[in-house]
Amino acid sequence: MIQATRIAFGVLFLISDSLLAQESGTSNQLQFPDFTTRAIIAASSIAAFLVLAFLLYRKRKEVDRRAGL
Amino acid sequence: MHQSTQNGSPFNWLDERVPISKLVQFLSRKEVPRHKHTFWYYFGGLTLFFFLVQVVTGILLALHYRPSPEAAHESVVYIVNEVAHGWLIRSIHSWSANLMVAMLLVHMFSAFLLKAYRRPRELIWISGVLLLLVVLGFCFTGYLLPWDTVAYFATLIGTEVPKTLPIIGDWGVSVLKGSQEIGAETLARMYTIHIVILPLTAIVVIGFHILLNQIHGSSIPTTALEQKPPIPFFPNFVLRDALAWTLGFISLVALSVLLPTGIGEKADPFASAPAGIRPEWYFLPLYQSLRIAPASVFGISGEFLVNALVAAVGVFWLLVPFLDRSAAENRRSRLFTAIGILLIFYIAGTVLLAYTT
């Protein structure tokens, strides 16, 4: 699982770098946080919003049941 | 809700002046049809969601952006490098613009194929087509703002497009550019259109679009023969919408954080246009059509013909509710379905062709 996550992030890193280089040509003007920091930001926000999505899904199920849907 | 609000409570004070409880009553009585195509109803809400993200991030960017050829590029670099979370806000602004166009296209084509423009929803369709123009206007005017080489030359090409139109062509170009060259006047115009004129227009048209949608309700496709009991709008459909918005936000955050938006070299009007320059994906159908068009057909310029054809398709698209008589009579209209599918293939094909050639 950890290995798969590493590979997935590695691929994303390569895509990210190549896209940036392609789009800007001079991406060194911009100082983005390094990839590890960005991956942590992405993973933690995605996890938080997935929890929210799950809670919304559960609430939806509950109100649907009450409405007889 | 009413049990928890005592007489003289802040809620009652507000409710007496702004009839919130009546609005809640209206929303709880409102129902959304439930059938095999209900899934497509979520894309209108998702388009609105990405528009709201655009508004919020756009305001934050405007606090630091400086709309002049001397300072624009530096201010964007400053936003990314110095402003707290500036890189993320700019990236979210850029990616949500792309996602907004994508959701709008899905919403529009699904409405087209499900014949949601049938009587009495003609004006909902027309306001939706106007919103597409407004959104593309947002994208076009926003593209120049970073003032980098690609934005500069793409705008130079884009502002020349109306030139082939008879009578209003030169006027259209001068309105967009503000001067002979792409310069301070052009940037000021693009910025003003981007942050004042288009947002005001969008608020009015979106308001009208949503109001009519509330009055007439969601359209039920003629092909949805089996209908299940409808979904109460509040809270059942609202919760579904909220779930879709959350998933949309997750996608937006993932794209913005992992693929942050870059910037090119500062625009130099005296430099030559970089090789392989092409517009954003949503303008590629027009760009690719211009590329493949012959120089002239029977003495008429190919560029003029493409522009005229695009204008004709635009007018057809706007007037679809009045042209599709079968749908107006709640009968299947295979011709219009075929036109819609053909258009989807043409857009997808030209985008792919532009990326691969």
DSSP string, B266-313: BP-TTSPPPTT----GGGHHHHHHHHHS-SEETTEEHHHHHHHHHHHH
Chain B contact for A45, CB < 8 A? yes
How confident is residue B262, by pLDDT bands cut at 50, 70 and 90? very high
Distance from CA of B255 to the nearest CA of A (A): 9
User: How far apart (Å, rounded) are the C-alpha atoms in residues B71 and B147?
Assistant: 9
Average pLDDT over residues B65-79: 96
At residue A14, the pLDDT reads 55
By Cβ distance, the residue of B250, B253, B263 closest to A30 is B263
By Cβ distance, the residue of B229, B243, B260 closest to A69 is B229
- Please provide the average confidence, as pLDDT, over all residues in chain A: 78
At residue B303, the pLDDT reads 87
How far is the first Cα of chain A from the last one, in angstroms, to the nearest whole number? 38
Q: Which of residues 9-38 of A touch B (CB under 8 A)?
A: 12, 15-16, 19-20, 23-27, 29-33, 38
- Answer left, alpha or beta for residue A5, where phi above 0 means left and psi between -120 and 50 means alpha: alpha
**A32 and B80: CB-CB below 8 Å?**
yes
Residue A18 has pLDDT above 60, yes or no: no
Q: Is B93 within 8 Å of B217 (Cβ atoms)?
A: no
C-beta contacts of B75-82 below 8 A and 24+ residues apart: B76/B145, B76/B146, B76/B147, B76/B263, B77/A29, B77/A30, B77/B263, B80/A30, B80/A31, B80/A32, B80/B263, B81/A30, B81/A31
Q: Is B101 within 8 Å of B192 (Cβ atoms)?
A: no
Burial class (CB in 10 A: 0-12, 13-18, 19+), B135: buried
Query: How far apart, in Å, are the Cα atoms of B337 and each of B101, B111, B178, B321?
Result: 22, 11, 42, 13
Residue B334 has pLDDT above 70, yes or no: yes
User: How far apart (Å, rounded) are the C-alpha atoms in residues B230 and A69?
Assistant: 8
How confident is residue B27, by pLDDT bands cut at 50, 70 and 90? confident
Residue B183 has pLDDT above 70, yes or no: yes
The model carries a pTM of: 0.88
- Candidates A11, A60, A62, A66: best to mutate against B (most CBs of B within 10 A) is A60
* Highest mean predicted confidence (pLDDT) among A41-50, B23-32, B265-274, B286-295: A41-50
Residue with more model confidence, A27 or B94: B94
Q: Is B84 within 8 Å of B185 (Cβ atoms)?
A: no
DSSP H helical ranges for chain B: 10-17, 20-29, 42-62, 72-81, 86-113, 122-144, 149-160, 169-177, 184-192, 198-216, 238-258, 284-292, 302-323, 325-328, 334-356
Residue B326 has pLDDT above 50, yes or no: yes
Chain B contact for A54, CB < 8 A? no
Residue A51 has pLDDT above 80, yes or no: yes
Q: What is the CA radius of gyration of chain B?
A: 23
Average pLDDT over residues B192-196: 97
- Please provide the average confidence, as pLDDT, over all residues in chain B: 92
Strand partners, B231: B32
**A39 and B262: CB-CB below 8 Å?**
no
Residue A24 has pLDDT above 60, yes or no: no
**A60 and B239: CB-CB below 8 Å?**
yes
At residue B224, the pLDDT reads 78
At residue A21, the pLDDT reads 47
**A60 and B243: CB-CB below 8 Å?**
yes
The DSSP annotation for A4-54 comes to HHHHHHHHHHHHHHHHHHHHHS-GGGS-PPPHHHHHHHHHHHHHHHHHHHH
Q: Is B209 within 8 Å of B220 (Cβ atoms)?
A: no
Residue A9 has pLDDT above 60, yes or no: no
How confident is residue B24, by pLDDT bands cut at 50, 70 and 90? confident
How confident is residue B328, by pLDDT bands cut at 50, 70 and 90? confident
Residue A10 has pLDDT above 70, yes or no: no
How confident is residue B223, by pLDDT bands cut at 50, 70 and 90? confident
User: How far apart (Å, rounded) are the C-alpha atoms in residues B201 and B51?
Assistant: 13
By Cβ distance, the residue of B80, B232, B250 closest to A46 is B250
Residue B315: CB atoms within 10 Å: 9
How confident is residue A13, by pLDDT bands cut at 50, 70 and 90? low
Task: Tell me which chain A residues have a C-beta less than 8 angstroms from the C-beta of B240.
Answer: 60
Give B309's contacts (C-beta < 8 A, 6+ positions apart): B289
At residue A12, the pLDDT reads 56
How many A/B residue pairs have CB atoms within 8 Å? 89
Chain B contact for A61, CB < 8 A? no
Average pLDDT over residues B93-119: 97
User: How far apart (Å, rounded) are the C-alpha atoms in residues B108 and B97?
Assistant: 16
**A60 and B254: CB-CB below 8 Å?**
no
Give residue B356's Cα distance to chain centre.
25
Task: Tell me which chain B residues have a C-beta less than 8 angstroms from the C-beta of A41.
Answer: 88, 257
One-letter amino acid at B335 equals: L
Residue A26 has pLDDT above 70, yes or no: no
Residue of chain B whose Cα is closest to the Cα of A46? B250
User: How far apart (Å, rounded) are the C-alpha atoms in residues B217 and B211?
Assistant: 10
Chain B contact for A2, CB < 8 A? no
By Cβ distance, the residue of A30, A59, A63 closest to B77 is A30
* Residue B37, helix vs strand vs coil: coil
Burial class (CB in 10 A: 0-12, 13-18, 19+), A38: buried
By Cβ distance, the residue of A39, A45, A59 closest to B239 is A59
Crossing angle of helices B302-323 and B284-292, in 10° steps, is: 130
Q: Is B239 within 8 Å of B55 (Cβ atoms)?
A: no
Average pLDDT over residues B225-252: 92
Residue of chain A whose Cα is closest to the Cα of B280? A23
Residue B88: CB atoms within 10 Å: 21
